[in-house]
A = this chain, B = another copy of it.
Amino acid sequence: MEDQAQLEQASPSVQKRIQDSFDRQGLMGHLGARLAHIGPGRVHIVLPARPEVTQQHGYVHAGATSAIADSAGGYAALTLFDEDSDVVTVEYKINLIAPATGDHLQAVGTVLKSGRTLTVCQFEVYGVHGDGVRKLVANGQQTLIRMNRPTE
């Protein structure tokens, strides 16, 4: 994540809100994924390659790739909402462009259009290798809907 230093950070309260929500996603912890960057309209999630996330040829499974891509897009959308709003994925489309190899995957979710009701995000997933090589392995587009957060 050598480019992270130059990336704009979201406010501490937004970062806390995103991290708290992420920590409640049982799947992210179970896969071993973690938040690597929280900026305004942009979130990075990292997933180490492990046998627990593979498909039949030993690459990272499209489902694991999609899971971090979907979460990266969803949290990118959430960074632009006020604290009374929550976000739900309506749909997404993903192209698996190359075998998902590398030491870890990095999913980058970016808000393309943040509307009152709907948000459209794009995401890319990179395979990051030990030697620093970073290769696009998946790419997609996502529609999300803003929900009122239930009072707890």
Contacts and interface: CB of A to CB of B under 8 A. Distances in A.
A66 B8 CA distance: 31
A96 interface: yes
Given A61-B67, A90-B95, A120 B139 contact: yes
A16 interface: no
Nearest to A55: B25
Contacts of A31: 30, 63
A141 B95 contact: yes
A27 B140 contact: no
Interface of A is mostly: mixed
> How big is chain A's contact interface, by range?
35 or more
Interface of A: 21-22, 24-31, 50-57, 61-64, 66-68, 70-71, 88-98, 112-113, 117-118, 120, 122, 136, 139-141, 143, 145
Contacts of A96: 88-91
Contacts of A70: 61-63, 66
7 contacts: A26-B61, A27-B53, A27-B55, A27-B63, A27-B64, A30-B53, A117-B145
